[in-house]
Amino acid sequence: MNIAWFCLAGAVIAEITMIALTKASEGWTRLWPTLGLIAAAGIGMYLIARAAKDIPISTAYAIWTGLGGIGAAIIGMAYHNEPASILKILCILSILAGVVGLKLLSTAT
């Protein structure tokens, strides 16, 4: 695996961090969570741009947003009492299958 995939993984972590801090910022009314989410967004954008130098943008962006969406769904269910149903879990698994498929089909090493 080359550095681009590590950058993409970091971008996903930054995206999920940003999502978690978005709720904690309470509409950007709490200073530290707001600053954290802004920092996470900047880091995520830098890392996705770096990853896209070597990974096709269609693949990089779909993986970034797909895993970010999965992270948001899990955070919502685990920490914010959002309902979890078998259909929601199946949808999350279908997104994950798509992400894995995109990685396997990627031309980047």
The pLDDT of residue 18: 96
> Whole-structure pTM over 0.85, yes or no?
yes
CA gap 50, 44 in Å, rounded: 10
Residue 109, classed as helix, strand or coil, is coil
The pLDDT of residue 28: 96
CA gap 87, 62 in Å, rounded: 22
- Which residues are CB-neighbours of 35 under 8 A, at least 6 positions away? none
Residue 89 token pair: 């879990």
H-helix segments, the chain: 3-24, 31-51, 57-79, 86-105
Distance, CA of 74 to chain centre:
11
pLDDT digits (tens, 9 = 90+) for 66-101: 999 999 999 999 999 999 999 999 999 999 999 999
Domain ranges across the chain: 3-105
